[in-house]
Amino acid sequence: MAGESGESIEIREIIAEQTRAIRQVVLRPHQAAEELIYPGDNDADSFHLGAVRGDEVLAILSMYHQPMPGETENAWRIRGMASVAEIRGQGYGRMLVEVARDRAWAVERAVIWCNARESAFGFYEKLGFVIEGELFEIEGIGSHAVMVLNPTP
C-alpha cells in the first residue's frame, strides 16, 4: 500500500526497540522510555510487527505467548498496538492483527487476547474479538476490557 508520500508501507517484523517511540507517543506519553520495555519483549517466542515506510515505523503490534490472567493454558497476547495519526484509519492496524494472528496460529492455534482500551472495542470486534469479563481501569490510561479471539476450526 502506498502512503501519502507515494512510498509504500509494508507490514514486516521489527525489533522490540523499534516499538518504543510509538508506545510512548501514542499509548503512554506520561511514561519514561525505560517504562516502555514490556515483560516478554525479548522472549524467543515473542515477535513485533510494524507498518513501515522506508525506515520509519508508523504502526506497531507486539505478540507474546502468554496465558490470559488467571489461566494456565497457552495463549497469545497482543500488546502495545498503536499507529501514528498520519495513517490511522487506513487499514494498517487490521493488517497488523491479521499478520500477527496468522503467524501465531501457524505456531499454535490458541486463543489470542488483549487488554483493549474502551475506545478500541469496535476495532477489535470487527476482527472477531469478543469482550470477556468486566471493564477495569488501568491507572493513568483509562477503561479497558479483556478481548478474546478464538481460533477458527
Is 38 domain-assigned? yes
Is 87 domain-assigned? yes
Is 106 domain-assigned? yes
Is 1 domain-assigned? no
> pLDDT tens digits for 71-119?
888 999 999 898 988 888 899 999 999 999 999 999 999 999 999 989 8
Domain count, the chain: 1
Is 61 domain-assigned? yes
Residue 60 CB partners (closer than 8 Å, separation 6+)? 14, 18, 19, 22, 23, 48, 49, 50, 51, 80, 81, 82, 83, 96
Is 4 domain-assigned? no
Is 22 domain-assigned? yes
The CATH number covering residue 119 comes to 3.40.630.30
> pLDDT tens digits for 112-130?
999 998 989 999 999 999 9
DSSP-assigned beta bridge partners for residue 42 = none
Domain span holding position 135 = 9-149
